[in-house]
Each structure stands twice: as C-alpha cells, then as structure tokens.
A and B are shown apart, each in its own frame.
Chain A
Amino acid sequence: MTRVDVVVTGLGATTPLGGDVASTWDAMLAGHSGVSPLTAPWAEQLPVRIAAQLAVEPGEVLDRVKLRRLDRSEAVALIAAHQAWADAGLADAGLDPERLAVSVGSGIGGAQTLLAQDDILEASGPRRVSPHTVPMLMPNGPAAWVGLELGARAGVHSVASACATGAEAIALGLDIIRAGRADVVVAGGTEAVIHQLPIAGFASMRAMSTRNDEPEKASRPWDKARDGFVLGEGAGVIVLERADHAAARGARVYARLAGAGLTSDGYDIVQPHPEGHGAIRAIEKAIADAGVTRTDIVHVNAHATSTPVGDMAEIAALRASVGTHPVLTATKSMSGHLLGAAGALESIATILAIRDGVVPPTINLDDPDDGLDLDVAAHKARQMDIPAALNNSFGFGGHNVALVFTRA
C-alpha cells in the first residue's frame, strides 16, 4: 500500500516569546528569553519565583464574556488554533466538517480552574461554584473547544502524556490522516498552570530552576550550571493535511510530517531510563517511519529542559540513535518549558527551521557540560540547509515521542 503523505499547512501559537508564530519565531532567532519574575503575592513564599509567562494575555485577544467560560489552557489553545486555521487558508476552503478532526492535548489540564473554584467552594459554599467549572477543568476541554469553534466532526481527541503531550497529539494527527479518518487534523498542545500549587509540586521534586535573581539565565540546557526547568505557558497548534488534499486546493505547504516514533520506558514514573532505551527506540522508529536514514537528520530540536540528568541522557540517546553529526538546539532555553504544549511549540520551531534554513539558538550555554560532544547552535542562530529534522519530547510516565519533519 502506498503511504499517505501528510504535510503541514498552517501554524499557530501564543507563547512567552510572542502572541503569534511570527513574533515567537523572530524572538527565538534573536535569542530572547521569555522568562521573567513572578510578581503575584502568592509567589513570595515559593522557592521558585520565575516563569515564562505569556507575552500577550488572552484577554487582549478574546472577549471578556467568552473568557469567563474558558480555562486559561482552553483560551490559549483556541487562540493558537484560530491562528493556524486562518494561516492554512481553510476558513473559506469548503472543507467537509466530517473530514476534519482535532487532536489537542494538555499535560495537566484545567488546574487553575480547579484551584480557583475550590477557593470559592471553601469561602462561599457550593452554590457559588461556577456552572462552567467542569467544562473548564476537564482535560479534553481545549480539544473540545477547538473542535466546536472550527466545526470538526471527524473526532476530537485529547491525549495526555505530560511533557510529550504536544508531540503525541501531532503523532496522533498523523495516524488519523494515514488511517483515512480525516483529511485535515488541527493538532497541538496547550498548558497554563503558572499557579502556586503546580509550581510547589514541581519544586518539591527539585525539578525547577531556583535562579530567581537571574530569570533570563535560568533556563540553560546542557550548561554546567543548569539547575532545573523553568515553567512556561502557552499553546502551539499546527494544521496537518493529506498532501494531495493540500495540493488540490493550492495550499501553501511548510513541511512534511514524515514520521513519528512513540515508545514507553516501562521503567519509572518520573525518571527516564538511565541509558535512554525508550528514547533511542522512539527516535529510531521515527526515522524508519519517515523513510529517511539517520544521516539525513541534520538538525534536532531537543527536549532538553535544563534539568541536570535529563539533558545529558538525551545526548546519549541521540548519539546512539542518530549519531554526532546533527546540529542541536534547545529552544526551551528561550521559551521555558511549556509542558503539554512544548512538543507542539518545538514542532513549529523545527518546521520553520526547515523552511528558513536556520537553526534557532540555545541561549545561556556558557559553559557546556563535559559530556556534550554534539554540535549545538549556542548563543546565535545558525544558517544551514535542513532537508530533514527531528523533534524529541519526553514526559513523566516514561513517554517518548520523536517526530521527523522533512522539506516538502
């Protein structure tokens, strides 16, 4: 059977670096940091008082009444999805709704709503709890809202695999089109949990950077002085489309989503396998699925969150699966870690790297770890021809997702 080709025809994002894809990409290429101090009173008691907060508040984009019924994670997903939809030129393309699906996940879901409504319950009693609480906190809420607003009737899906969610949602979109269940899938990830409880939880795990006095230097993948990730918020959404469907309507094509590899470690609930077995298998599967060879992969947008253990485990996995030739970057050095949205935002960065022939920089890599023997585009963006690139995402729970994008 001939393999169905799947291409990317639309991009949307709202991130700590910008309110849309263009501004986010420009900020990445310029090496800007999206990390800033947390100024809310609740942050004072926390060990972590920095985060990568949205550059553009959802209230500047969506109307006030609509926002009342949306968790922040739903609001940013909707903003990114509408951008991607418009970018793909699908608004007036006459697409059959029964051939349109949605795959948008979140790592944590509507935690801000849950916590805010619990405060109301405790202070004022059950009758004051908002009737919008459940649709706001349910983890399928972002996908459901996107599906509702775009009129998708081929299925609305919400995978959850922690920090691999965005990438897994995109991989599911690929499967859906290959299986013939839809011609177009709006796919991506969303997260908005900059709140004291999730921060306290991650901080208790000793997973977060406490470089509170230098926010812009806190996210520093592969640097010797890295001390944990920086929590970010936002959403990334891409439009996946069957290649012949895109060609028939004369759509602009950014890149091909050539392959995906998904594995699970079966090792520990939060620690990655020490030899990266799951990651290696995911990368190898993605390369095989894409019909390319390891030498074709010239650029990797790494998961690299700036944690002491994870960053170097990924290097070992890359060395074993791809080799030492690709040029790496860790865009989380600029965006922070968007958890369930990370894989989607980094897919967008990978796609644009292919389109523009440029690897965005890894900032703050001032003193590379002794084990870092792969080439990283440190400090400055690097121009190069990129026919094929890899995007890695790993998540608590032992989820490993690798995506291969190629030039269309």
Chain B
Amino acid sequence: MTRDEITAGLAEILEEVAGVNPDDVATEKSFTDDLDVDSLSMVEVVVAAEEKFGVKIPDNEVQNLKTVGDAVAYIEAQA
C-alpha cells in the first residue's frame, strides 16, 4: 500500500468518525490542533485504522502519532 493510499484511507476514517473534510487531511496536519480530533475520537480513529490497514497500534504508540504524516509512516512500517 502506498503512502497516498494510506493517507486517503485515513481521510475516509477521519471523515466518518470526526467529520473532518478529506481535503484538509495532509501530511503535516496535527490531529488535535489542525483537524480538531479530540481524544475520544482519536481512539476511534486508531481502532478503525487497525481494522482497515491490518496493523496493531498500541496505546503507547498513539501519543507519538501527532500528525497525519506520523500515522501514515507508522502504518506503512507495520503493514
């Protein structure tokens, strides 16, 4: 799976879970500061991403995933 495909998949999840406009989802965007994803929604995003990409994202990793790019890189490395 390419980085673009992962980003597009994340954008779908973010739209479904938190109402984020897919056009706003870009590598440098911060989940909390730019995309307004709160902590409970972030939990939903992580669980949905695990399911969609077939990866495990442990709770202690989630705090390191500040931006969309962080998440894409992590998923790419695990997938």
Contacts and interface: CB of A to CB of B under 8 A. Distances in A.
A271 interface: no
A195 interface: no
B71 to A, nearest CB: 17
Given A63-B19, A65-B18, A127 B40 contact: no
Interface in B28-71: 40-41, 43-44, 47
16 contacts: A63-B19, A64-B19, A65-B17, A65-B18, A65-B19, A68-B17, A69-B40, A127-B47, A128-B47, A130-B44, A131-B40, A131-B41, A131-B43, A131-B44, A132-B40, A132-B44
Contacts of B41: 131
Interface string B14-34: 000111000000000000000
Q: What range describes how many residues of B lie at the interface?
A: under 10
Q: What range describes how many residues of A lie at the interface?
A: 10 to 19
Contacts of B47: 127-128
Which of A63, A64, A68 has the most C-beta atoms of chain B within 10 angstroms of its own C-beta?
Answer: A68
Interface in A91-131: 127-128, 130-131
Counting from the closest, the 8 A-B pairs by CB-CB distance are A65-B19, A131-B43, A131-B40, A132-B40, A131-B44, A127-B47, A65-B18, A128-B47
Contacts of A130: 44
Interface in A30-53: none
Contacts of A69: 40
B60 to A, nearest CB: 15
Which of A63, A131, A132 has the most C-beta atoms of chain B within 10 angstroms of its own C-beta?
Answer: A131
Contacts of B18: 65
Contacts of A131: 40-41, 43-44
A64 B41 CA distance: 14
A126 to B, nearest CB: 11
A131 B17 CA distance: 12
A128 B48 CA distance: 9
A132 B17 CA distance: 11
Contacts of B19: 63-65
Interface string A218-257: 0000000000000000000000000000000000000000
Nearest to B39: A131
Contacts of A132: 40, 44
Nearest to A128: B47
A69 B40 CA distance: 10
Nearest to B18: A65
Contacts of B44: 130-132
A132 B40 CA distance: 7
B49 to A, nearest CB: 12
A228 B17 CA distance: 41
B15 to A, nearest CB: 9
